[in-house]
Amino acid sequence: MTLSRRAAVVRAIVAKDLREFSRDRLWMVLTPLMLVFYVGLLWLLPNTVEESINVGVYARGLTGQFAEAFDSDAVSAETGLRVVPFDSPEALEAAVVDGTEVEVEGGTHSVEIGMVFPDDLAPSLAAGEPATVSIYVDAAVPAEVQTAMSAFVREATYAMAGVELPVSQPQEELIVVGEDRVGAQITPQDRMTPLIAVMVLLVESMALAGLVAVEIQSRTAKAVVTSPASVGDLLTAKGLTGTVLAFSQAGLVLLLVGAFGPEPLLLALALLIGSVMTAGFGMLAGSAGRDFMTTIFISMVFIIPMAVPAISALFPGAASAWVQVLPTYGFIETIVGVTAYGESWADVTGFLLMSAVWCVVIFAAGWFILRRRVEAL
């Protein structure tokens, strides 16, 4: 049979599979609902991230260099703290305790920490009398920042009282383990995008697994390969069907949320590799499934671990060694790099190669297992 003839046969089988998919009420209801849910979820998530902590200060009780430090509401590049001066303790308490937002640098922000230095602080310290500095802290503020604020208050009061600190100050050396993302934090929307893309791909692998399982159980696959189509034509068509379903829907989701940035071809290639890979998963699950529930269970066995790298993307730097060897890790890192950090081909070549290798291995495994199953009919 000529190559053009085989291509026509494969196209016919793919068209048949897509028609059967469109007639499946479960997937025809589930697919649009999931797409609407995924896109809606991504649109609702914030696409900005606040990297500074707003510290409200009532500082009339401070003197000297400490008072000067609170004259501006500029953000410290080193600490990420934005100082917000207040004219009264009551206004500061309301901002932190009640969540009242205030105008800061032309925008409206909440205040996470508040420090009230009483008006009589300096005279009280000079006279050796007790004085109270009130610190209001939002529960969401990291514990280390809370500790730092308390330490600052102690240092300020010691200095104002003219008393040496009771301990010597050691030299500090900051060592950042892993990639330093200070100033380049990922927004909640960017964090969730890889997970959504992977879930779309993996769910479509379940759809392909269902198609394959039905054809094996009904022995339709045997009838197809006794026609002009060969087993290779059938397997090629199944791989193409799974790839088309996965790629089109994942690409549509990313397109609707504006994820295709300056490197659309790079992102499309990563999605294509992931789509072929998930088609291999679908062929594996479909060939092993004996009925609908068994096929779904086997598909979930693949889906859950393959989604782990996408979940780890929600927490940058948290992927352990075993996560990094999972098949989906490479193309997920590519999606993260392209959509969140604007990385180029040179930045993600290693991840793409890793994904391509896994893609070949998984698709070949699916091809081999499904071929044996069809030939055994």
Fold of 53-161: D-Maltodextrin-Binding Protein; domain 2 (3.40.190)
The total number of residues shown for the chain amounts to 377
Strands (E) in the chain, as ranges, are 53-58, 81-85, 102-104, 107-109, 113-116, 134-137
The answer to whether 271 touches 197, Cβ cutoff 8 Å, is: yes
Q: What is the pLDDT of residue 74?
A: 47
β-strands 81-85, 53-58: how paired? parallel
pLDDT at 61: 63
pTM metric for this prediction: 0.73
Give SS3 for 46: coil
Distance, in Å, from the CA atom of 1 to the CA atom of 233, rounded to the nearest integer, reads: 11
Taking the C-alpha atoms of residue 47 and residue 35, their distance in angstroms, rounded to an integer, is 19
3-state secondary structure at position 104: strand
238 near 205, Cβ under 8 Å? no
The token pair at 282 is 């679908």
Q: Are 155 and 165 in contact (CB under 8 A)?
A: yes
Residue with tokens 């793409």: 352
* pLDDT tens digits in sequence order for the chain, 377 residues long: 678 888 888 899 999 888 888 888 888 888 889 889 988 988 888 777 666 778 888 877 666 555 555 655 544 545 567 778 888 888 888 888 887 777 766 567 788 888 888 888 778 877 777 788 888 888 777 777 778 778 877 777 777 666 665 655 555 555 545 454 545 567 788 888 888 988 899 888 988 998 898 888 888 888 887 777 888 899 999 999 999 999 999 999 999 888 888 889 999 999 999 999 999 999 999 998 777 788 888 888 888 899 899 888 877 777 788 899 999 999 899 998 898 888 899 999 999 999 999 999 999 999 999 999 988 87
Report the pLDDT value the prediction gives residue 88, as an integer from 0 to 100.
86
Q: Which residues make beta-bridge pairs with 84?
A: 56
- Domain residue extents for the chain: 3-47+185-375, 53-161
